[in-house]
Structure 1
Amino acid sequence: MTLDQTGRTTTGTATTATTTTTAAPWWTSAVVYQVYPRSFADADGDGVGDLAGLASRLDHLERLGVDVVWLSPVYASPQADNGYDISDYQAIDPVFGTLEDFDRLLAEVHARGMKLVMDLVVNHTSDEHPWFAESRSSQDNPKRDWYWWRPPRDGFAAGEPGAEPTNWESFFSGPAWTLDEKTGEYYLHLFDRKQPDLNWENPEVRHAVYDMMRWWLDRGVDGFRMDVINLISKDPALPDGATTGTGGLGDGFPHYGTGPRIHEFLQEMHREVFRGRTGEFLTVGEMPGVTWEDARLFTDPARGEVDMVFQFEHVSLDHGQGGKFDPKPLDLRDLKASLGRWQAALAETGWNSLYWCNHDQPRVVSRFGDDGQWWRESATAWATVLHLHRGTPFVYQGEELGMTNAPFAGVHEMRDVESLNHHRRQVEAGVDPDVVLRGLRAMGRDNARTPVQWDATPNAGFTSGEPWLAVNPNHSWLNAEAQYDDPRSVFNHYRRLIGLRHELPVVALGDFRMLLADHPHVYAYERALDGVRLLVVANLGGAEQTVDVDPAWSDADVVLSNTDAAHVSAGRVELGPWAALVLKR
């Protein structure tokens, strides 16, 4: 396939950006780093990461060059879902430290010129939250309507099979309703039974949440990443969903995903919490199932909702017919079509987030790359492709080291509630345990949660105690200490990518044009702003590839390359296995 004199193909999709450099919000040139504190660094030797451990490793983040630290939940919690089940929004769980530890951490983050964003989990609380304790105490308690309570289905007795108020299936397997024996009614939980859903139809609930958010902002935090925030508005009729064939359960998502009042709720949140407040804040809405049409509304600055969304389209492309635990090979053409569509849709209005990894996704180098022979090259190739898109990149802890999925010997080594529930139910249904385990090894959330690999010592420098989740054995060679002084390391490649976003306005704000849309192995695109052009070309496979380019690119400056096996000359780009090349003119 041939690129024309502008570096474009006839199959390319162009975007036009209207944001000027002077008017652009600060986060357009920022990079966010996600910390999953349980697995980041343990200062007290109990095997679980904590705030003091994070504070002791801030030099790593400063050295990397990131601008924002996103802190996964550290609130008081029974830890049924590793902190995403919150029992007190204004307290730090003792496993992570104290409020004083948090304040010290926040001060040290700010002293390094970085911002700190908290995780906001308000679709649900823990069933041990005082609000829920009151709500379940009696049917006439004033807080009963703070959660979704319903009697058994007509014609059924409480506790009888099929008596659940709707047929909705939980994200964590099984019915999304649990019977409360004391009051004889069911409560809704889209996730674990210990995570009852808040009823956002009740204004008292909403304003209690806004009070809590203001409390954290007053304490000095710089914004929020909002967990599954597009699920907070449910259809009050709570209709059944289409039957999925799994024990008679149904898909309720059309009735609670991006629900009828979601834009109203987010606009109210913005008015009540952020309007009139001085400072630079960041709001990111995690939104499973969101479309680009929805995202353009959510992120339109004139509407006052959120700055950007996390969408899931691109990380669902390798899900098979059986869902995410039935993975299939990624077709690169599908990925280009998806990301190109989002780049085009949010070019003039709204903003994209950019990510491969987080606490819910497996490691990208194992998922889409080659974590064996071409580990370094594939880790840096995928990083190059992501970071030079238009949008705000998110780096998940350990991604900047090229951390890989873990070699779990069996389900007994896993800790994630989603994986454990899935394994139990699938085996009970008669599925071959080895088949179930293969899916969990490839896509289970524990892959992202093994401790960060700081050095080659027995527990990878993560803890002096017994780690809550086993350290990946490859930490003996794959670790931060081994990469700091190696100019070819994955870590230093990430440093250079982050530096490009800070230094070149074309990376943050330039137009985007997808190239070679139909090529099955090469990912290529062009960025342009104020006469400056970038050409990004990456071979995302293990065989050599060659693409033709306009000869003008032959004498362009090489801004970045992850390997010596990438060359441009005489109108051709030759790419070795997993080679990525960035040219500027």
Structure 2
Amino acid sequence: MNRSFIKVMICSFFLIAFSCREKQDEKHDSPIENAKWWKEAIVYQIYPRSFKDSDGDGVGDLQGIIQELDYIKSLGVTAIWLNPIYTSPNADNGYDVSDYRDIMKEFGTMADFDSLLAGMHQRDIKLVMDIVVNHSSDEHEWFKQSRSSRDNPYRDYYHWWPAEKGEPPYRYSLFDAKGDAWQYDSITDAYYLHYFAKKQPDLNWSNPKVRQEVYDIMKFWADKGVDGFRLDAFQFAAKNTTYPKFPDGFESDFIQYYAMQDGLHGYLKEMNEEVFSQYDVMSVAEGAGRNFEDAHKLVDQNRNELNMAYAFEGVDIPKYEGYDLKTMKDVFTKWDKEFAEDGWLSIFLANHDQARMVSRWGNDSDEFRSASTKLLNTFILSMRGTPYCYYGDELGMTNIDFDSISQYQDIAAINGYQKAVSEGEDMELFMKKLNFGSRDNGRTPMQWNNSEHAGFTNGKPWLPVNDNYVDINVEDENADQNSVLNHFREMTRLRKQNPVLVYGVYELVAPEHPDIYAYTRILDDKMALILLNFSEETSEIKLKDEWDNHSILINNYSDVEFFENSVKMRPYQAIIFNIER
């Protein structure tokens, strides 16, 4: 290869890189006051282990995502939230990071990442990275140094309690089989803190050196062209490790005693000044604190902290016993009302920490799965806030039915099982609830076609593929005009073409209706009416006289049945009307 050719290739590379960054730095052009690209984004969350395996090792990887970028583009989404891809021993599937500036070997290389990012930007798709800095892996070099001696320069990168002071004040661990967040370490005769698994020691954010390390990591990725950051478990980053005793039963209200502790807002303001304000990046933290006041302090515009809240009250509604539609209306309505004037919300019904959307919120029977999934996607994509759509929910993927604990991979499920056994719980009931709500339900491999392993891999998949892949898969749904997949595409198109569905004022209609969730979205002279029948029975709702002049924007059935001044809605029917004003 001659030097002239090499020089041309290098110049081409930098021109492409500059072009990508230039696109990101363009001002957002919109007639809407306070319009932002991240408000108008439609985010598609990818769990990389489970999306597409390119090399036959049974684990999804970056090259697999690259292979399917055209498919992702076809969905109409505008951003990808990618779960952690950093080097990790995988105690918690990548949420235990041992090197924040390198790629997990199972997922590929940094060159693969660069190709992925370039391919996304060429298709006008932005990338939001997961940043896991409440804790690291115990195999991170910082922790190896920290535990090596009490006078090591990295000692204060983590929370330590010397054994000679006696047992530390009890703290609860979400992922520990014994429930104790302090782990004894014999090397220095001390305990270290871990709110999650014992292989996930918590970082000491009160140490300015830790904070600067994190900001430098974020700048490393922002300089590569990453468009946003999702801060995992960050509401717990500020710690109270010395208060001697929390009230009995505090474990059941983990957020109240662990979230939003003193110092957190200072950390976020500093992070904003150091990173967010220097790049055109989106920022969102997992969780929104203990109450509305906490959430506003995180995301109100004048706070200079984060862009949007990612609140869990809504997604936590469905239980093993089911849920009440009125509760769903009340929760989503009060959150919208609270942020109608300032701040911004995320809208989602599923993610990597939840079971499958249609199995929790809808009806995953053969008869109603398609209609109810379309209804749920209509809800997500017609509400005010940035919608987050989880991979596979555009197909209507469902929960998988595991027979025994040996089939589970999730550390929370395995340790939760051990804890339940030790405490003498009703294990038959425990397993039924686990089967309904386990995170592994939402992590089964993407169903691409009806070939072996659903086209996800040529090897043995790291987690079993759901048996219903023969009926629920991309290839078959692509070819079916009335599929869940093609309805999803119509909804993303509709949202992008109608700013009223992004910025319009939300107003609940018929709040006491037992089956139908109805609301309007109004922006200037535009009005949309959304009707969603969350029932497997036909249900009826009256239309107001001023809605007479209407047209149908989208409908998950082939027709709409009107009766005098009412709409008679079929099971799980979802309709959006354009109302002429």
TM-score (norm 1): 0.91
Residue 432 of structure 1: how far off its partner (Å): 2.8
**After superposition, where does 1:175-214 map in structure 2 within 5 Å?**
175-214=180-219
In structure 2, the partner of 1:332 is 325
* Structure 2 residue 458 is the aligned partner of structure 1 residue 444: no
Q: Distance in 2 between matches of 1:97 and 1:266?
A: 31
SS state at 2:223 partner: helix
Q: Which moved more, 1:226-235 or 1:64-73?
A: 226-235
Q: Distance in 2 between matches of 1:507 and 1:240?
A: 48
CA contact 1:362–1:405 (8 Å) conserved in 2:
yes
In structure 2, the partner of 1:42 is 53
Q: Distance in 1 between matches of 2:253 and 2:544?
A: 50
Change (3 A) 1:554 1:232: same
Change (3 A) 1:186 1:438: same
1:33 partner amino acid: Y
Q: Deviations over 1:489-532 (max 9, x none)?
A: 11111111111221111111111101122222110100001111
1:560 partner amino acid: I
Change (3 A) 1:434 1:548: same
Q: Distance in 2 between matches of 1:394 and 1:303?
A: 24
In structure 2, the partner of 1:422 is 416
* Structure 2 residue 151 is the aligned partner of structure 1 residue 140: yes
In structure 1, the partner of 2:380 is 386
CA contact 2:318–2:361 (8 Å) conserved in 1:
no
1:370 partner amino acid: N
In structure 1, the partner of 2:567 is 573
SS state at 1:484 partner: helix
CA contact 1:42–1:463 (8 Å) conserved in 2:
yes
Q: Higher RCO, 1 or 2 (CA under 8 Å, sep at least 6)?
A: 1
Q: Which residue, 169, 173, 196 being the options, matches 1:170?
A: 173
In structure 2, the partner of 1:539 is 533
CA contact 1:198–1:205 (8 Å) conserved in 2:
yes
CA contact 1:553–1:571 (8 Å) conserved in 2:
no
How many aligned positions are there? 547
**After superposition, where does 1:88-487 map in structure 2 within 5 Å?**
88-152=99-163, 156=166, 163=167, 165-173=168-176, 174-235=179-240, 237-244=242-249, 253-277=255-279, 280-287=280-287, 289-319=289-319, 327-372=320-365, 373-487=367-481
Q: Which runs of 5+ in 1 are unaligned?
A: 1-18, 157-162, 320-326
- Kindly, what percent of the aligned residue pairs are identical? 42
1:292 partner amino acid: F
Residue 407 of structure 1: how far off its partner (Å): 1.1
Residue 261 of structure 1: how far off its partner (Å): 1.3
In structure 1, the partner of 2:496 is 502
Change (3 A) 1:243 1:23: closer
CA contact 1:240–1:250 (8 Å) conserved in 2:
no
Q: Distance in 2 between matches of 1:568 and 1:522?
A: 15
Q: Deviations over 1:430-472 (max 9, x none)?
A: 2232211101111000000000000001110100000000000
Residue 561 of structure 1: how far off its partner (Å): 0.6
Q: Deviations over 1:305-357 (max 9, x none)?
A: 111121111122234xxxxxxx3221111111110001001111000100001
Q: Which runs of 5+ in 2 are unaligned?
A: 1-29
SS state at 1:405 partner: coil
Residue 289 of structure 1: how far off its partner (Å): 4.5
SS state at 1:216 partner: helix
Residue 25 of structure 1: how far off its partner (Å): 0.6
SS state at 1:533 partner: strand
Q: Distance in 2 between matches of 1:21 and 1:104?
A: 34
Q: Distance in 2 between matches of 1:350 and 1:66?
A: 23
1:146 partner amino acid: Y
Q: Distance in 2 between matches of 1:96 and 1:571?
A: 56
Q: Deviations over 1:359-412 (max 9, x none)?
A: 001111111211012000111111112221100000111011110000112111
SS state at 2:374 partner: helix
CA contact 1:169–1:251 (8 Å) conserved in 2:
no
Q: Which moved more, 1:189-198 or 1:219-228?
A: 219-228
1:62 partner amino acid: K
CA contact 1:566–1:580 (8 Å) conserved in 2:
no
CA contact 1:558–1:582 (8 Å) conserved in 2:
yes
Q: Distance in 1 between matches of 2:225 and 2:194?
A: 32
CA contact 1:565–1:576 (8 Å) conserved in 2:
no
Residue 555 of structure 1: how far off its partner (Å): 3.9
Q: Deviations over 1:65-106 (max 9, x none)?
A: 110011100000000000000000000010100001100111
Q: Distance in 2 between matches of 1:20 and 1:390?
A: 17
SS state at 2:398 partner: coil
Residue 288 of structure 1: how far off its partner (Å): 5.9
CA contact 1:565–1:575 (8 Å) conserved in 2:
no
Q: Distance in 1 between matches of 2:477 and 2:291?
A: 39
Residue 567 of structure 1: how far off its partner (Å): 2.7
Change (3 A) 1:329 1:220: same
Change (3 A) 1:281 1:298: same
TM-score (norm 2): 0.91
1:184 partner amino acid: D
1:104 partner amino acid: S
CA contact 1:228–1:285 (8 Å) conserved in 2:
yes
Q: Which moved more, 1:468-477 or 1:419-428?
A: 419-428
SS state at 2:183 partner: strand
Structure number with higher helix proportion: 2
Q: Distance in 2 between matches of 1:348 and 1:257?
A: 25
In structure 2, the partner of 1:15 is none
In structure 1, the partner of 2:98 is 87
Q: Distance in 2 between matches of 1:303 and 1:553?
A: 40
CA contact 1:522–1:537 (8 Å) conserved in 2:
yes
Q: Distance in 1 between matches of 2:314 and 2:169?
A: 30
CA contact 2:159–2:193 (8 Å) conserved in 1:
yes
Q: Distance in 2 between matches of 1:349 and 1:190?
A: 32
Q: Distance in 2 between matches of 1:180 and 1:583?
A: 62
1:128 partner amino acid: E
SS state at 1:366 partner: helix
1:105 partner amino acid: L
Q: Distance in 2 between matches of 1:307 and 1:397?
A: 23
SS state at 1:214 partner: helix
**After superposition, where does 1:12-51 map in structure 2 within 5 Å?**
21=32, 23-51=34-62
SS state at 2:454 partner: coil
Q: Distance in 2 between matches of 1:565 and 1:353?
A: 31
Residue 121 of structure 1: how far off its partner (Å): 0.4
| RMSD over equivalenced CA pairs, Å | 1.7
Residue 241 of structure 1: how far off its partner (Å): 2.1
In structure 2, the partner of 1:525 is 519
